[in-house]
Amino acid sequence: MAKPTGIAAEGEVLQTRTPDQGGALKTMPAPATWLDERIGLGKLGKAALRKVFPDHWSFLLGEIALYSFIVLLLTGIFLTIWFRPSMAEIEYQGSYELMRGLHMSQAFESTLQISFDVRGGMLVRQIHHWGAILFMAAMTAHMLRVFFTGAFRKPRELNWLIGVVLLSLGMIAGMTGYSLPDDLLSGTGLRFTDGAIRSIPLVGTWIEFFVFGGEYPGDMIIARFYMAHILLLPAILLGLISAHMALVVYHKHSLFPGPGRTENNVVGYPLFPVYMAKAGGFFFIVFGVLILMGATMSINQVWLYGPYNPAQVTAGSQPDWYMGWVEGAVRIMPGWESHWGGTTWSWNVFLPFAVLMGLFYTALAVWPFIEAWLTGDKRPHHILDRPRNAPTRTALGVAGMTFYGLMWAGGGNDIIATQFNVSLNAVTYFLRVAVFVGPVIAFIITKRLCLSLQRADRERVLHGSESGIIVRSPAGGYSEPHVPISNDEAFALTQHRQYPPLEETPSHDEHGVKTSDPNKVSGLRARLSAWYTGDDIVKPTRDEIAASHHHEDEPKQLH
Amino acid sequence: MTPEHSTSLATTEDDALLHPIPNPGIEHHAERYTDVDAKAADRAYKQVVGIFGLVPLLAIAFVVIYFAVPRHATANLLGVNWHVHTTLLGLTGGLAVLLIGVGAIHWSRQLMNDTEIAEDRHAAASTDEERAGFVDVVNQGIRDAGVSRRKMIVASLGGALGIVAVPAIVTLADIGPYPTAANRRETIEKTVWADGVRVVNDANRLPLKASDIEIGQLVNAEPENLWDLHGKDYMNMKSKTPLVVVRMDPNTIKIPESRKDWHVGGILAYSKICTHVGCPISLWEQQTHHLLCPCHQSTFDLGNSGVVVFGPAARALPQLPLKVDAEGYLVAQSDFTVPVGPSYFERDSRNDYKDGDE
Amino acid sequence: MRLGSSRRRHRAARPLSLVLALFLMGALYAALSPATQVAADTGMSAQVAEGKALFQVTCSSCHGLNGEGTTQGPSLVGVGAAAVEFQMATNRMPMAKPGAQAPRKVVQYTAEEINNIARYVHTLGPGPDIPNSSAYDYSALTDEDIAKGGELFRTNCSACHQAAANGGALPNGKYAPALHGVEPLHIYEAMRTGPQQMPVFSAGAIPDEDVAAIIGYLKGIEEQPSSGFSLGGLGPVTEGFAGWVIGIGGLCLIATWIASTGARAK
């Protein structure tokens, strides 16, 4: 991966630019002083307007999630003006002829009304649903970025936890939302939820009767989902998002390694005007993209599924994408059930549904603490990791993505079967093995890749990059001289902190007395720590770099 | 909140081991075309204004389209029969909003000052003095609260606050009926199927004459008295009573001894509700006799008393015993002999049919 | 076994010549024995005779010389002319190779040839005949009737063919095909004859006017306008892909543009 470099100029230590003489304002204008006298606008503005934010495209993923959430709120308000969350039966007399005269719930009927009789209603419904798809996808992408760059480390563990909660609540918000139209597809999903709740040992039927207000489906669930979807969940989400953003402001944004960047500063552009323009502009772009998606791509055509009828079903029944991995787990699970006495223990549903989801979100939540335990790292971090510089973490992340992705594929196994002309049963059998074997293979490949990249970086620092020029020496040998990389780049490649594996503290000191060190390292922890960081390629030391510069004075060697 | 030079983030971070190459400082700012060339800057300025200038045009177009385009107009383009009103509204509105963003970004990238600046961080943690001050303030408060020798106050307050949660939770106790054994028997373990109830085709409610059903036929059926129920009762019952009625050649299927009078000349009736998580199953393969549920692909062999042959279901599909009445129409002999639908903890599953049972 | 072998006789010579003799006898018998099939009651018309000749050339290798069935194909006694017309007019039959799924192919026989074969097979035993178009005429049905047809479709058909008739998966590599652009006649015939794995839907449960309503509904959804590209109409799976690829992918590309700086002057 040779990157030919020109001879780069050294970077100067450049502080903030001196402000221009004069400007648009002579003193604080009158409306601003009115506010200042009440809320201290001057103090706020002076502190906040010049706040620095770093620039990287991957820092905008969280913004996509935030902006899609705002779009969801706005379009959601529009929908609540017409939607009726009632399961009471009504005869359809609207403009969609293919349902004329059918009996359906008011929830479904009002959804048809929004889609066909309210101008702009279909557009807003589609924007809303695409927004939900994008909200979950952006949160997932953002979470992956935070994971792979180690941005969850101290002091940001709390923010990571808030994020995990946002992700799981977002899933529930989406599920309650797409169930509101009471159509055949989401109703089938509701039936699945009913069966899944039943599978919980000991309390399953109790939770079922409480959620549905009795037997399935009852006449309460749509109204209860409505309450959760427009009141409870948005309130909690807004609160958590505000806390999430407040912490980002307090901690300041993390930043990638590079010249001028340290653990004690933030380098980038000021909030006013650059970030207001970029972030504000991005809001309009996300909003615009969502509107254009709603205009050109049809989604959730409830009139084709029809009103929910517990005796009807459609082929290709899937939940929205973000529940797909649980769907896949449930599909590939073998039919294990235990009948002990007069009780039934449905492992075939309980394990892939409740247990798997519980384990997955718990694992996500505790990861920052596990990593800190493995590395013994108690320092705060504001410089991000390049993923290659944390090979085991990156490999674990890719293994997790592989597991998730294979489960996700399982959720669409019938679509895979029809679109790629393969046997449905074969896909299922394959995935039963692949969800265990795949992540292991992915881990091994990714870790090896990261270590190679670390070696390449080390070579680059010590020997520069290939120049692409072949030189023939007077003796006849060919060689390719290397061009030293710029100081800025060399700094960026060596800025990361490395973690030698923890040493096990001896259980007894030299006198045979048992040690009672509060920070003692157990044998297990030492072994896991060695697995976690032991293979990392050590970055070049100052002496090695100095030594490599002397080599430039020697005759060119054949590399 | 001014950025402060923090003393607690010491410069031990900058030692030779951590940074073999010393920090060269922020890169020198490289000028953009718009920084050096006035014509380029002017062009960028005109572009930004032009982009913003398109927005009112699109907004007006949106309003015109909203009122002027007929609500149900369609147009055929690119293989799609477009719902014109929706799509045009979305294209104009979406583009209008998008261009605001594009204009703002273009302005920030080309015309705004793009010199990188640095701002100091403060440590997330408080300084030692601040922590000491915190301890002082808390101690002062404890002294002022007069609780240092009266420890029961805080404990009893905590208990009182905690216990109030219990009445709050109890107010939800009527959220649903309780699934006691008696209640379950009347609800999830019972349907309207009974001796003499006619089997009718779903949706058109036609009664089924045994002689009209051919080998290879599938009927999605319901009990005739289902439509005596309305509203919630109708829907609840409909999630338990649907049947798949199939006719197979009796010589090609396995009929256990205990069920030899449950079928009528090869016509068998099974619950349509999957025993996995309750989706209705209708996907029957006429030649293999396999019934596939579209939700999670559980597959049942209707030629072998509904046992599971693939997929995550764990129990056989319940079979409804059939007979014919005096006029030759199919009727049930009784209700299902086991609860239909997904499993639950209190379900006694020992009576369900297992492969090989007689 | 080389011809002109110096060995007197190969070990396999005796059993192989026995097999050869049997084969020869069978072929002779088949060629020379009189046709046992006679048309029921009415005697052979020209159509049926044509059809029989075509049948024996095309269909008999799997379905038997008299349609009695072989290990390769089921008996056609009692399937009726409707089944033949459906299978051949969609060129599912003759199958390119034996297998569980008979996909639709380009039709290779003329309508007349198909009709003749159908008439011949119809004489093998009583079964559903090719219907008159009035049997499935939905033009006189009201909107409410067609809506009822939709209910029937979702109760009986969508579990295999999908709610928007885009098709669905069956076990072991088989599938229920999409129904767009299928002739009303063929929909009717398929329901009445139950081709391959599809069950039979007889008139006793779904009378002709209900079938007409179902067909009217299917044609109705084909004509419905769409609020955008349907992405295959396969539901949340393709919607999720579009959301990730177009939504996240597109916005990431835009994000790289935002976070990049303007073109450098040097």
**Which CATH number goes with the domain that contains B321?**
2.102.10.10
461-480 in A: which are within 8 Å (CB) of B?
A: 461
| CA of C3 vs chain B CAs: smallest distance (Å) | 48
Final residue belonging to a domain, choices C223, C245, C260: C223
* Band of pLDDT at residue B16, cut at 50, 70 and 90: confident
* Band of pLDDT at residue B57, cut at 50, 70 and 90: very high
- Residue in B204, B224, B215, B203 with CA at minimum distance from that of residue B330: B224
Angle subtended at Cα C119 by Cα C136 and Cα C66, rounded to the nearest 5 degrees: 130
Q: Is the pLDDT reported for residue A5 higher than 70?
A: no
Compare all CA atoms of chain C with the CA of A134 and give the residue at the minimum distance.
Answer: C243
- Cβ-based contacts of A312 with chain B (< 8 Å): 280
pLDDT of residue A554: 57
| B93 part of a folded domain | yes
Per the structure, the complete domain to which residue C166 belongs is given by: 133-223
pLDDT of residue C2: 53
Instruction: Report how far apart the first and last C-alpha atoms of chain C are (Å, whole number).
Output: 83
Final residue belonging to a domain, choices C63, C91, C122: C122
| C210 part of a folded domain | yes
The residues pairing with C200 across neighbouring beta strands, listed in sequence order, are B217
C contact test, residue of B36, B37, B218 with most C CBs within 10 A: B218
Q: Is the pLDDT reported for residue B184 higher than 50?
A: yes
Compare all CA atoms of chain C with the CA of A141 and give the residue at the minimum distance.
Answer: C248
| C90 part of a folded domain | yes
Tell whether A153 is within 8 A of chain B (Cβ).
no
| C17 part of a folded domain | no
Q: How many residues does chain C have?
A: 266
Do A310 and B26 make contact, defined as CB atoms within 8 angstroms?
Answer: no
A538-553 burial, b at 16+ Cβ within 10 Å, e below that, comes to: ebbeeeebeebeeeee
For residue A65, give both structure tokens: 């999630």
Do A311 and B17 make contact, defined as CB atoms within 8 angstroms?
Answer: no
For residue B338, give both structure tokens: 């086991």
Share of chain C above pLDDT 70, in %: 91
- The reported pTM is 0.90
Nearest CB to B278: which of A195, A252, A283?
A195
Please give the Cα distance from A121 to A234 (Å, whole number). 22
Rg of chain B's alpha carbons, rounded to an integer? 38
- Cβ-based contacts of A195 with chain B (< 8 Å): 276-278, 341-342
The residues pairing with B230 across neighbouring beta strands, listed in sequence order, are none
Angle subtended at Cα B210 by Cα B205 and Cα B216, rounded to the nearest 5 degrees: 95
Do A262 and B13 make contact, defined as CB atoms within 8 angstroms?
Answer: yes
- Cβ-based contacts of A289 with chain B (< 8 Å): 94, 98
Domain count of the fold of chain C: 2
| C63 part of a folded domain | yes
Does residue C34 have a cis peptide bond before it, meaning omega lies within 30 degrees of 0?
Answer: no
Q: Which residues contact A413 (CB under 8 A, 6 or more apart)?
A: A328, A331, A332, A424, A427, A428, A431, B297, C169
Q: Which residues contact A148 (CB under 8 A, 6 or more apart)?
A: A385, A387, A393, A394, A397
- In a shared domain, residues B334 and B193: yes
Give the three-class secondary structure for C10. coil
pLDDT tens per residue, range A303-348: 999 999 999 999 989 999 999 999 999 999 999 999 998 999 999 9
| C59 part of a folded domain | yes
- Cβ-based contacts of B215 with chain C (< 8 Å): 200
For residue A385, give both structure tokens: 């990791």
Q: Is the pLDDT reported for residue A446 higher than 60?
A: yes
Nearest CB to A99: which of C147, C163, C226?
C147
| B3 part of a folded domain | no
* Other residues' Cβ atoms within 10 Å of the Cβ of residue B241: 27
Q: Is the pLDDT reported for residue A234 higher than 60?
A: yes
Contact B283, B292 (CB under 8 A): yes
A32-55 burial, b at 16+ Cβ within 10 Å, e below that, comes to: eeeeeeeeebeeeeeeeeebbbbb
| B181 part of a folded domain | no
As to burial, measured by CB atoms within 10 angstroms (0-12 exposed, 13-18 middle, 19+ buried), residue B255 is: middle
| B136 part of a folded domain | no
Using alpha carbons, list the distances in angstroms from residue A332 to A434, B296, B298, B308: 11, 8, 10, 14
- Cβ-based contacts of A214 with chain B (< 8 Å): 176-177, 187, 236
- Cβ-based contacts of C197 with chain B (< 8 Å): 285-288
- In a shared domain, residues C199 and C140: yes
Does residue C177 have a cis peptide bond before it, meaning omega lies within 30 degrees of 0?
Answer: no
Tell whether B219 is within 8 A of chain C (Cβ).
yes
- Cβ-based contacts of A309 with chain B (< 8 Å): 238
Contact A450, A535 (CB under 8 A): no
- In a shared domain, residues C54 and C73: yes
Contact A308, A135 (CB under 8 A): no
31-60 in A: which are within 8 Å (CB) of C?
A: 55-60
- In a shared domain, residues B85 and B192: no
Mean pLDDT throughout A54-69?
95
Per the structure, the complete domain to which residue B331 belongs is given by: 187-351
Do C239 and A133 make contact, defined as CB atoms within 8 angstroms?
Answer: yes
| B280 part of a folded domain | yes
Q: Is the pLDDT reported for residue A16 higher than 70?
A: no
Nearest CB to B292: which of C152, C170, C196?
C170
| C23 part of a folded domain | no
B contact test, residue of A10, A17, A191 with most B CBs within 10 A: A191
Tell whether B203 is within 8 A of chain C (Cβ).
yes
- Residue type for position A96: Y
- Residue type for position C222: E
* Band of pLDDT at residue B17, cut at 50, 70 and 90: confident
Neighbours of chain A (3+ CB pairs under 8 A): B, C
Nearest CB to C205: which of B105, B206, B286?
B206
Nearest CB to A315: which of C161, C236, C250?
C161
- In a shared domain, residues B106 and B191: no
Give the three-class secondary structure for C100. coil
* Band of pLDDT at residue B240, cut at 50, 70 and 90: very high
pLDDT tens per residue, range A126-175: 999 999 999 999 999 999 999 999 999 999 999 999 999 999 999 999 99
Q: Is the pLDDT reported for residue B227 higher than 50?
A: yes
- In a shared domain, residues B337 and B218: yes
pLDDT tens per residue, range B83-101: 999 999 999 999 999 999 9
A contact test, residue of C138, C148, C154, C172 with most A CBs within 10 A: C154
Q: Which residues contact B221 (CB under 8 A, 6 or more apart)?
A: B199, B200, B201, B202, B208, B242, B243, B244, B245, B269
Give the three-class secondary structure for B270. strand
Angle subtended at Cα C71 by Cα C70 and Cα C76, rounded to the nearest 5 degrees: 40
Q: Greater confidence, A228 or B142?
A: A228
| C26 part of a folded domain | no
Give the three-class secondary structure for C162. coil
Angle subtended at Cα A548 by Cα A545 and Cα A549, rounded to the nearest 5 degrees: 90
Domain count of the fold of chain B: 2
pLDDT tens per residue, range C196-218: 899 999 999 999 999 999 999 99
Instruction: Report how far apart the first and last C-alpha atoms of chain B are (Å, whole number).
Output: 81
| B155 part of a folded domain | no
pLDDT of residue C31: 63
Do C205 and B219 make contact, defined as CB atoms within 8 angstroms?
Answer: yes
- In a shared domain, residues B69 and B201: no
* Band of pLDDT at residue C266, cut at 50, 70 and 90: low
Nearest CB to C242: which of A58, A297, A426?
A297
Final residue belonging to a domain, choices B76, B110, B144: B110
| B128 part of a folded domain | no
287-306 in A: which are within 8 Å (CB) of C?
A: 289-290, 293-301, 304-306
pLDDT of residue A12: 41
pLDDT of residue A18: 44
Q: Give domain limits for chain A.
A: 47-196+224-328+354-385
DSSP B13: G
Nearest CB to C168: which of B81, B217, B294?
B294
State whether CATH 1.20.810.10 applies to domain A47-196+224-328+354-385: yes
Give the three-class secondary structure for A338. strand
- In a shared domain, residues C156 and C215: yes
* Band of pLDDT at residue C44, cut at 50, 70 and 90: low
Mean pLDDT of chain A: 91
How many helical (H) and strand (E) elements, i.e. helices and strands, does chain A have? 21, 10
Mean pLDDT throughout B249-272?
95
* Band of pLDDT at residue C260, cut at 50, 70 and 90: confident
- In a shared domain, residues B106 and B192: no
* Band of pLDDT at residue B278, cut at 50, 70 and 90: very high
| CA of A303 vs chain C CAs: smallest distance (Å) | 10
For residue A175, give both structure tokens: 């599920």
Q: Is the pLDDT reported for residue B263 higher than 90?
A: yes
Do B26 and A259 make contact, defined as CB atoms within 8 angstroms?
Answer: yes
Mean pLDDT throughout B324-329?
94
| C83 part of a folded domain | yes
Q: Which residues contact A110 (CB under 8 A, 6 or more apart)?
A: A82, A83, A84
In SS3 terms, A202-251 reads as CCHHHHHHHHHCCCCCCCCHHHHHHHHHHHHHHHHHHHHHHHHHHHHHHH
* Other residues' Cβ atoms within 10 Å of the Cβ of residue A512: 6
As to burial, measured by CB atoms within 10 angstroms (0-12 exposed, 13-18 middle, 19+ buried), residue A3 is: exposed
pLDDT tens per residue, range C107-159: 778 888 889 989 999 998 888 889 998 999 999 999 999 999 999 999 999 99
pLDDT of residue C9: 73
| CA of A273 vs chain B CAs: smallest distance (Å) | 8
Do B108 and A273 make contact, defined as CB atoms within 8 angstroms?
Answer: yes
Tell whether A155 is within 8 A of chain B (Cβ).
yes
* Band of pLDDT at residue A21, cut at 50, 70 and 90: low
For residue B96, give both structure tokens: 């209008």
Mean pLDDT throughout A43-70?
93
Please give the Cα distance from B153 to B200 (Å, whole number). 71
Please give the Cα distance from C120 to C47 (Å, whole number). 8
| B94 part of a folded domain | yes
pLDDT tens per residue, range A81-102: 999 999 999 999 999 999 999 9
Nearest CB to C194: which of B201, B286, B297?
B286
Please give the Cα distance from B233 to A215 (Å, whole number). 9
For residue A141, give both structure tokens: 């992408």
Which residues of C touch chain B, with CB atoms under 8 Å apart?
A: 148, 151-152, 155-156, 159-160, 168, 170-171, 174, 176, 194, 196-207, 210, 223-230, 257-258, 260-266
Q: Which residues contact A93 (CB under 8 A, 6 or more apart)?
A: A100, A101
Tell whether B216 is within 8 A of chain C (Cβ).
yes
Give residue A222's region: left, alpha or beta (phi > 0; psi -120 to 50): alpha
- Residue type for position A73: L
- In a shared domain, residues C137 and C219: yes
Compare all CA atoms of chain B with the CA of A212 and give the residue at the minimum distance.
Answer: B176
Does residue C103 have a cis peptide bond before it, meaning omega lies within 30 degrees of 0?
Answer: no
Q: Is the pLDDT reported for residue A257 higher than 70?
A: yes
pLDDT tens per residue, range A360-412: 999 999 999 999 999 999 999 999 999 999 999 999 999 999 999 999 999 99
Strands B267-271 and B243-247: antiparallel
Tell whether A432 is within 8 A of chain B (Cβ).
no
* Band of pLDDT at residue B6, cut at 50, 70 and 90: very low
Tell whether A264 is within 8 A of chain B (Cβ).
yes
pLDDT of residue A505: 84
Angle subtended at Cα A494 by Cα A490 and Cα A500, rounded to the nearest 5 degrees: 165
The tokens 């997330």 sit on which residue? Answer: B124
Final residue belonging to a domain, choices B53, B78, B110: B110
Q: Is the pLDDT reported for residue A13 higher than 50?
A: no
Q: Residue C58 belongs to a domain with what CATH number?
A: 1.10.760.10
pLDDT of residue B207: 95
Nearest CB to A286: which of C237, C238, C251?
C251
Final residue belonging to a domain, choices C223, C239, C254: C223
Please give the Cα distance from B268 to B245 (Å, whole number). 6
Please give the Cα distance from A453 to A1 (Å, whole number). 9
The tokens 């010579």 sit on which residue? Answer: C13
CB pairs under 8 A between A and C: 207
Q: Is the pLDDT reported for residue C32 higher than 80?
A: no
Neighbours of chain B (3+ CB pairs under 8 A): A, C
Q: Is the pLDDT reported for residue B19 higher than 60?
A: yes
Q: Greater confidence, A262 or A520?
A: A262
| CA of C225 vs chain A CAs: smallest distance (Å) | 11
Nearest CB to C262: which of B33, B203, B287?
B33
| CA of C89 vs chain B CAs: smallest distance (Å) | 22
Q: Which of A81-95, A101-115, A357-371, C14-28 has the lowest mean pLDDT?
A: C14-28
